[in-house]
Structure 1
């Protein structure tokens, strides 16, 4: 279990590196181009998530194609919105909004799945929203498109979690991961055509690095959940706020103030509490493969 948790920390560090790379190249390339190239390169490491007993023919034959299509749509849209969020907001601020995801899972569970939600989880929802207000401070700071994009990422991630509750026990992990990356390549590839501009030579190392660390992160998560349950590994994703704060300060001169840091902490605590309560109320964390939210 300790090995699984360490691998999970490494995976989320890799994801943070990929997001920092998005921020570095995002202002120099159109959004869809960034999504296309990063997803294309990320496919290479993700192919190693195939289990030896699976054939390549079966990998591309989903058992529930309708729900997999919803997973592909939410993952692709979340990826596109993620590029917008990370290229227009400080890294730590974007993560604080994206980590509203457990809050949306709670709300969707109540509305869609008709699950009973106790007062403690509703209190966590309120706490997360208060944290976001402290980070964004509407009325005192300018609200940017990136703020809406980051919330959109959280909503797409919550839809993914709800779908994975059904798909998780039956679909192969390489199918769930590969399908989203392929969909991202196709959708972004089509949408980037009207405004296509060839990346300059100095961008290619960043593009390749960003794609490889994202694909490697998916691979590390798969290995992490082979050593430890998804329920044990999932809380490590909140380490991304720490990585984002450090990388934002080191590479982009982003220094969140005390109020913003308190808000981030509140969002993180609310999300962790929500996950713990979900684990107590349902068995889905043990059944659902741990995948990148967006």
Structure 2
């Protein structure tokens, strides 16, 4: 612990983020394991119940303010698209290699750029648009539409990434008016209530081992989120963004270890393009923020925007 405390904030953040990436990768692997027999609706329902239970102490302490929202319509929109993102993402995880599902999920950053322009009216330059286009080329290489290797589950992964990107933009709007605990609570409870119906209709009684896996999904999800928050509390987002791609290495290793999955050439090529394009997008965003921060006039203009 003493050695850790002596490190710079960015190094501390990077070390914690490497741990968070491991937890996220373990969560994905556990979903794939338990999804071999249990339906995705049931997995998602149990996960949301677990999240709601973990949030309960915070919500009870702050009640009724903790459940008060200034934009119910936005909260409902977030619930719907978070549900789509998780259903599509979890289904893809179960049916395609972990490395593929993880790499395609990184395309979320490209969709965030598009939705930020359409909804938040953010200004995006030529270079960032070029990075988005190149990134989507990487996605196409991985999904391989129109070829014998094409899978609808790959398309579900893309839809999941798009929905997750849309959710992130909605969160940007919600954080201006609602508390973080309120935002988390509406998603956890809302998605859980919606999934209660299909989960009950498709319910498969889990074995003791499957209950353990379901518990593990909730546990590692919790620690992954906590570690992720701590990492970004220490380090700069522009520095840590590149570290997060270690998830792809973890996913490749776990896919090989647990499911005998070995990524093909298209996976490696497509993943490399997605990662490089994502890193460039983050780099351009970091430069833009530094420019706004250092320029008082630009900063005042940015802060005056709704």
Structure with greater proportional helix content: 2
Asked if 1:109 corresponds to 2:120, the answer is no
Against the structure 1 CA distance between its residues 45 and 236, is the aligned structure 2 distance closer, same or farther, given a 3 Å change threshold? farther
Asked if 1:166 corresponds to 2:173, the answer is yes
Greater Cα offset, 54-63 or 183-192: 54-63
Max Rg structure? 2
2:34 is matched with 25
Conservation of the 8 A alpha-carbon contact between 2:128 and 2:284: yes
Conservation of the 8 A alpha-carbon contact between 2:16 and 2:231: yes
SS of the counterpart of 1:29?
Answer: coil
In the aligned structure 2, how far is the partner of 1:45 from the partner of 1:232? 30
In the aligned structure 2, how far is the partner of 1:271 from the partner of 1:4? 20
In the aligned structure 2, how far is the partner of 1:113 from the partner of 1:36? 32
In the aligned structure 1, how far is the partner of 2:239 from the partner of 2:179? 21
The TM-score with structure 2 as length reference comes to 0.83
Alignment of 1:217-232 (within 5 A): 217-232=224-239
Show structure 1 runs of 4+ deviating over 6 A. none
Aligned-residue offset at 1:86: 0.3
In the aligned structure 1, how far is the partner of 2:206 from the partner of 2:114? 41
In the aligned structure 2, how far is the partner of 1:231 from the partner of 1:46? 29
Conservation of the 8 A alpha-carbon contact between 1:135 and 1:263: yes
Against the structure 1 CA distance between its residues 68 and 210, is the aligned structure 2 distance closer, same or farther, given a 3 Å change threshold? same
SS of the counterpart of 1:193?
Answer: helix
2:18 is matched with 9
1:292 is matched with none
In the aligned structure 2, how far is the partner of 1:180 from the partner of 1:227? 26
1:291 is matched with none
Against the structure 1 CA distance between its residues 10 and 173, is the aligned structure 2 distance closer, same or farther, given a 3 Å change threshold? farther
Q: Cα deviations across residues 225-263 of structure 1 (Å, max 9, x unaligned)?
A: 333354544443322211111111111111012342121
Against the structure 1 CA distance between its residues 169 and 234, is the aligned structure 2 distance closer, same or farther, given a 3 Å change threshold? farther
Find 1:136's aligned residue among 126, 138, 143: 143
Aligned-residue offset at 1:26: 0.9
In the aligned structure 1, how far is the partner of 2:153 from the partner of 2:211? 25
- What is the aligned residue count? 281
Aligned-residue offset at 1:118: 1.6
In the aligned structure 2, how far is the partner of 1:132 from the partner of 1:192? 31
Q: Cα deviations across residues 98-148 of structure 1 (Å, max 9, x unaligned)?
A: 211111122223333333322211211121122123223333333223112
Find 1:245's aligned residue among 238, 248, 252: 252
Aligned-residue offset at 1:186: 1.2
The TM-score with structure 1 as length reference comes to 0.86
In the aligned structure 2, how far is the partner of 1:235 from the partner of 1:182? 32
Uncovered stretches (5+) of structure 2, i.e. residues with no partner: 1-8, 294-306
Conservation of the 8 A alpha-carbon contact between 1:85 and 1:146: yes
Aligned-residue offset at 1:6: 2.4
Aligned-residue offset at 1:46: 5.1
SS of the counterpart of 1:192?
Answer: helix
In the aligned structure 2, how far is the partner of 1:165 from the partner of 1:281? 18
Conservation of the 8 A alpha-carbon contact between 2:143 and 2:155: no
Conservation of the 8 A alpha-carbon contact between 2:143 and 2:151: no
In the aligned structure 2, how far is the partner of 1:282 from the partner of 1:237? 20
Alignment of 1:80-91 (within 5 A): 80-91=87-98
Aligned-residue offset at 1:268: 0.8
| RMSD value, Cα | 2.4
1:182 is matched with 189
Aligned-residue offset at 1:189: 1.1
Aligned-residue offset at 1:15: 1.4
Aligned-residue offset at 1:198: 1.5
Uncovered stretches (5+) of structure 1, i.e. residues with no partner: 287-294
In the aligned structure 1, how far is the partner of 2:107 from the partner of 2:122? 19
